[in-house]
Chain A
Amino acid sequence: MSTIAETAPRNQARRRVRIDGWRWGGRAFLVFMLLYTALPMIWMLLTSIKSGFAAMQFPPQWWPDQPTLASYQKLLDPQNSVGQDFLRFFWNSLFVSTATTILSVVVAVPAAYAFSRFTFPGRNFLFFAVLLRNMFPAVIFLVPLFILMRAIGLVNTHGSLILTYLTFGLPLAIWLLKGFYDNIPVQLEQAARIDGATRFQAFILIVMPLSAPGIIATAIYSFIGAWNEYIYAYTFLSKNEQLTLPVGIQRFFSENTTDFPGLMAASFMMSVPVVVLFLVLQRYFVRALTEGAVKH
């Protein structure tokens, strides 16, 4: 019914819009944005399948004459010293990001729930204190944290990274999750309580399943944030076997400044996990970000 009712005025509008330039302007703009967004990534891919010699030509080979996967083979080959390093960095990043993600969900879920449901004195103050953390750049915390980590013996361990990532991931995680809890009707829990469930049971059996999308989204955010983090890893880690991908790649290519195909291949592979994660779970990702800022 409603679709029929809607198509009629839309057809009329389409006829009128043809004169009005807004829609064509919008299309042209989208094409421009698509080029702006995609061309650098396409150039990264094209460069990564060239040989080092083919990449260093002027004018450039727009399309590689002899495409080769040599750079990827080199990076993924555990026999080769480059591949060994790359795979180790990859594994380190994976470990740190996963640990951070699990811990931040575990800590953020009860906190977000409390901020959403309870009205205890100081609730607003604490909530904004948590949010304010988001405002301050890593640099402010670097020196004291470095000294703190040294004091508790965590420098050059992945523990130092997980602990710091936890703190910068938490405010966002709490904020995102609070948005989800706010949208779960409190009556559902009340009904469960009336039926004799304890608050904890109501939380586990009613609220948790309903907030699963929020938890997934929060987890993706924590993961991507930790995966891409650079400045703490750059400062806290100095041993080669400990480095995470962003720092590892940087250190590696400050020694081999001309291997652009290798650099592009490494950048591509570093992006694959997060882009795949994002594309697969896009729905949750976009919704979570906007849930806190825009209420429906």
Chain B
Amino acid sequence: MTIATGKAEARATLQPDRSGVLSQVWEHRADYAYVLPAIAVMLIVIAYPIYYTIELSFFNTPPGLQLRDKIFVGFDNYTAILTSQVFWKVTWNTLIWTLGSTFVSFVLGSAAALALHREFIGRGVLRAILIIPWVISAVAASYIWKWIYHSDFGIIGAVLVGLGLADRPPNFIDSVSTVLPSLIVVNIWREFPFAMIMMMAGLQTVPEQLLRAAKVDGANAWQRFWHVTFPHLRNVSTITILLLAVANFNSFIIPWIMTGGGPSNASHIWITHIYELAFGRQRWGVASAYSVLLFLILMTLGYFYVRALSGNERKDGSA
């Protein structure tokens, strides 16, 4: 009776001269059957769309999805994007949105995880409440906050007026200068629980003895955190930040529902802008070119993502 991993090695030693890639593939032919359903679904719904998007980005397309009359225009769509002013405005917004949301969510989530690490009465309940915003739908969250920010009847405006900090309720999401920060607050509301969960799990891997030893040696709370806890969290932190950054870069629902990108593009980020170009103005070619650019950026991010993940695996010795 041979066993899972031992099988391949055993055969390889028996027939050292036939260990080419093809014969290896053939030997493991049964293994692929397990992965096949997943790969098949992926190919249809991922590989084909990616190919089609790249193709479409080189064409000028008529409105409507009757795409037979498209005209080849080479790199025109790309130059049109890179020379437009909206592009740079939207890119700037996306940067602020992604970096702001990721950074603050991570800091708040980690701090909450640290504060919740110690046992106290009601910890479980508190933790559950803090995670709820992450579970509920972003559509619901957008409507809740839209109502909170409402320019006439919003509760924040009423509180500010009640405390004498403003003469009349401020117009949070209808003003160019405040709209993006206001939306980031909503996004953080939904995202910090994710960072919190990840960091809570990370904290559990910090050996208790080391902390106690450091305490005995006279290290204060900050020193213990910086020299013992923090180094253990580096791996989790990298992955959490990357996942948050990708999720934020890809967000759509909150800006789309709350403002639709307005006023005057002040809250448009890449994804909402692409969506509007494609399904609003029906400029499929330009929207596809945007998607390809986005794709390139994400591939770069993805490279680091995979490296962080496989670094984690290697350390664990399981890959």
Q: Give Cα A142–Cα B275 distance, bound, in whole angstroms.
A: 9
Q: Give Cα A23–Cα B46 distance, bound, in whole angstroms.
A: 49
A4 at the interface (CB under 8 A from B): no
On whether the beta carbons of A143 and B162 are closer than 8 Å, the reply is no
Which residues does chain B contribute within 8 Å of A126, judged by CB atoms? 35, 39
* Residues 7-19 of chain A, each 1 if its beta carbon lies under 8 Å from chain B, else 0: 0010001000100
Q: Give Cα A9–Cα B213 distance, bound, in whole angstroms.
A: 12
Which residues does chain B contribute within 8 Å of A270, judged by CB atoms? 136-137, 139-140
Which residues does chain A contribute within 8 Å of B42, judged by CB atoms? 129-130, 133, 167, 170
Q: Give Cα A120–Cα B212 distance, bound, in whole angstroms.
A: 44
On whether the beta carbons of A182 and B52 are closer than 8 Å, the reply is no
On whether the beta carbons of B145 and A135 are closer than 8 Å, the reply is no
Q: B25-33, B78-86, B95-103, B175-183: which lies at the A interface?
A: B25-33
Closest Cβ of chain B: how far from A21's Cβ, in Å?
A: 9
Known contacts A58-B153, A147-B65, A275-B136, A43 near B294 by CB under 8 Å: no
Q: Give Cα A20–Cα B150 distance, bound, in whole angstroms.
A: 42
Which residues does chain A contribute within 8 Å of B126, judged by CB atoms? 30, 34
On whether the beta carbons of B41 and A107 are closer than 8 Å, the reply is yes
Known contacts A34-B130, A118-B28, A141-B46, A111 near B143 by CB under 8 Å: no
Q: Which of B53, B128, B204, B236 contacts A279 (CB 8 A)?
A: B128
Q: Footprint of A on B, CB under 8 Å?
A: 1, 3-5, 8, 21, 24-25, 28, 31-35, 37-39, 41-42, 44-46, 48-50, 52-53, 56, 65, 67, 108, 111-112, 114-116, 118, 126, 128-133, 135-140, 143-145, 147-148, 150, 152-153, 155, 158, 161-162, 169, 189, 192, 197-198, 200-202, 204-205, 212, 215, 220-222, 235-236, 239-240, 246, 249-250, 252-253, 257, 271, 274-275, 278-279, 284, 287-288, 291, 294-295, 298, 301-302, 305-306, 309-310, 312, 316, 318-319
26 A-B contacts, Cβ less than 8 Å apart?
Answer: A9-B212, A29-B115, A34-B129, A56-B152, A60-B155, A110-B34, A119-B5, A121-B28, A130-B38, A134-B246, A135-B246, A135-B298, A135-B301, A137-B250, A139-B252, A142-B275, A166-B41, A190-B3, A260-B150, A270-B136, A270-B139, A279-B128, A282-B128, A290-B198, A290-B202, A293-B312
